[in-house]
Amino acid sequence: MQGDTASQAATLGVAGERPSTGPLVEARKLTKVHPARGGAAALVAVDGIDFRLERGEAFGFLGPNGAGKSSTMRMIACVSPPTSGTLRMLGMDAATDGSAIRARIGVVPQDDSLDAALTVRENLLVYGRYFGLSRATVRERSDKLLDFARLEDKADQRVETLSGGMRRRLTIARSLINDPELLLLDEPTTGLDPQARHVLWERLFQLKSQGVTLILTTHYMDEAEQLCDRLVIMDGGRIVAEGSPRSLIDAHVTREVLELRFADADREKATDVVLALAPGPVCQRVDVLPDRLLVYADDGDDALAVVNAAGLEPLTALVRRASLEDVFLTLTGRSLVE
Amino acid sequence: MTVTEAIREVASRPRVGTWPLLTRQVYVYRRSWTELVAAVLEPLMYLLTMGVGLGKLVGHAPGLSHVSYAAYVAPGLLAMAVMNAATAETIFGAFDRIKQAKLYDVVIATPMSIAEIVRAELWWATARGVLAGTGFLAAMAAFGLVHSVMSLLIVPASALVALAFAAAGLIAASYVRDWDDFQYVQLVMLPMFLFATTFYPLSVYPRGVQLLVECLPLFHSINLIREPALGAIGGDTVVAVAYLVAMTALCWWFAVRRMTRVLVR
Amino acid sequence: MTELSLAPPLREFAAEWLKYRRTWRGSIVIGLVNPLLFLTGIGIIGKLIDSSATGPLGGVSYLTWLAPGLMAASAMQMGFGSGGFGAFRAAAPGGGYRAASATPMSPTDILLGSLLFVTFRLSLLSAGFLLVQALLGAAPTWWAVLTVPAAALTGLAFAAPMAAWGIATKRFSTMQTVFRFVVQPLYLLSGTFFPLSTVPAWLQKVAYASPLWHGVELCRDINLGRLTFAAGAIHGGFLIAMVIAGVLFARVTYRRKLHE
Give residue C89's pLDDT: 82
DSSP category for residue C18: H
The angle at the Cα of A160, spanning A179 to B85, to the nearest 5 degrees, equals 95
Contact status of C240 with chain B (Cβ, < 8 Å): no
**Listing from the earlier edge strand, what are the strands of the sheet with A25-34?**
A43-53, A25-34, A84-89, A92-93
Q: Residue A299 is part of a domain; what is its CATH number?
A: 3.30.70.100
Our count of domains for chain B comes to 1
> Within a domain: residue A82?
yes
Our count of domains for chain A comes to 2
By the 10 Å C-beta count (0-12 exposed, 13-18 middle, 19+ buried), C140 is classed as middle
**pLDDT bucket at A15, cuts 50 / 70 / 90:** very low
CB atoms within 10 A of CB C37: 17
The angle at the Cα of C32, spanning C29 to C34, to the nearest 5 degrees, equals 100
For chain C, percent of residues with pLDDT exceeding 70: 95
**Which of A99-103, A152-156, A277-281 is predicted least confidently?**
A277-281
Q: Is residue A55 located within the same domain as residue A155?
A: yes
Q: Is residue A105 located within the same domain as residue A10?
A: yes
Mean pLDDT, all residues of chain B:
88
Give residue C204's pLDDT: 84
Average pLDDT over residues C234-243: 95
Mean pLDDT, all residues of chain C:
86
Q: Do B10 and A98 touch (CB under 8 A)?
A: yes
Whether the pLDDT of residue B12 is over 50: the answer is no
Give the range of the structural domain holding residue C31, as residue numbers without chain letter.
2-258
pLDDT tens per residue, range A172-215: 999 999 999 999 999 888 878 888 888 888 888 888 888 899 99
Give the range of the structural domain holding residue A279, as residue numbers without chain letter.
254-321
Whether the pLDDT of residue A142 is over 70: the answer is yes
Q: Residue A184 is part of a domain; what is its CATH number?
A: 3.40.50.300
Whether the pLDDT of residue C9 is over 90: the answer is no
Give the range of the structural domain holding residue B12, as residue numbers without chain letter.
3-263
Distances (CA, A) of B51 to B189, C50, C51, C149, C204: 21, 17, 18, 32, 17
Contact status of C27 with chain B (Cβ, < 8 Å): yes
Mean pLDDT, all residues of chain A:
86
A187: left (phi over 0), alpha (psi -120 to 50) or beta: left
Whether the pLDDT of residue A333 is over 90: the answer is no
- Closest partner residue to A131 (CB to CB) among B27, B105, B110 is B110
**pLDDT bucket at A78, cuts 50 / 70 / 90:** very high
Q: Residues near B247 by Cβ (< 8 Å), separated by ≥ 6?
A: B164, B167, B168, B217
Q: Is residue A16 located within the same domain as residue A145?
A: yes
Q: Is residue A131 located within the same domain as residue A55?
A: yes
Q: Which of B203, B263, B251, B185 is nearest to B64 (CA)?
A: B203
Handedness of CA B198, B199, B202, B207 (dihedral sign): negative
Most confident segment among A5-19, A63-77, C139-153, C193-207: C139-153
Whether the pLDDT of residue A293 is over 80: the answer is yes
Higher pLDDT, C136 or C92: C136
Helix/strand/coil for C197: helix
Whether the pLDDT of residue A117 is over 60: the answer is yes
- Whether A190 and A112 have beta carbons less than 8 Å apart is answered as no
Q: Is residue A81 located within the same domain as residue A167?
A: yes
> Within a domain: residue A231?
yes
Question: What ipTM does this complex have?
Answer: 0.85
> Within a domain: residue A72?
yes
Give residue A80's pLDDT: 92
Alpha helices by DSSP H, B108-234: 114-142, 154-175, 182-195, 207-214, 217-229
Q: Residues near B208 by Cβ (< 8 Å), separated by ≥ 6?
A: none
Give residue A14's pLDDT: 37
- Whether C69 and C191 have beta carbons less than 8 Å apart is answered as yes
Give residue B111's pLDDT: 92
pLDDT tens per residue, range C60-81: 888 999 999 999 999 999 999 8
Residues of A in contact with B27 (CB under 8 A): 117-118, 122, 125-126
Q: Is residue A16 located within the same domain as residue A110?
A: yes
Whether the pLDDT of residue B9 is over 70: the answer is no
Give residue C160's pLDDT: 95
Helix/strand/coil for A185: strand
Higher pLDDT, B58 or C121: C121
Whether the pLDDT of residue B15 is over 70: the answer is no
Q: Is residue A59 located within the same domain as residue A186?
A: yes
> Within a domain: residue A64?
yes
Q: Is residue A260 located within the same domain as residue A116?
A: no
Contact status of B184 with chain A (Cβ, < 8 Å): no
Whether the pLDDT of residue C3 is over 60: the answer is no
**pLDDT bucket at C49, cuts 50 / 70 / 90:** confident
Q: Is residue A168 located within the same domain as residue A285?
A: no
Give residue B94's pLDDT: 92
- Closest partner residue to B200 (CB to CB) among C27, C34, C48 is C48
Helix/strand/coil for B101: coil
What part of C 161-220 touches B (C-beta under 8 Å)?
A: 173, 177, 180-181, 184-185, 188-189, 193-194, 198-199
> Within a domain: residue A190?
yes
Our count of domains for chain C comes to 1
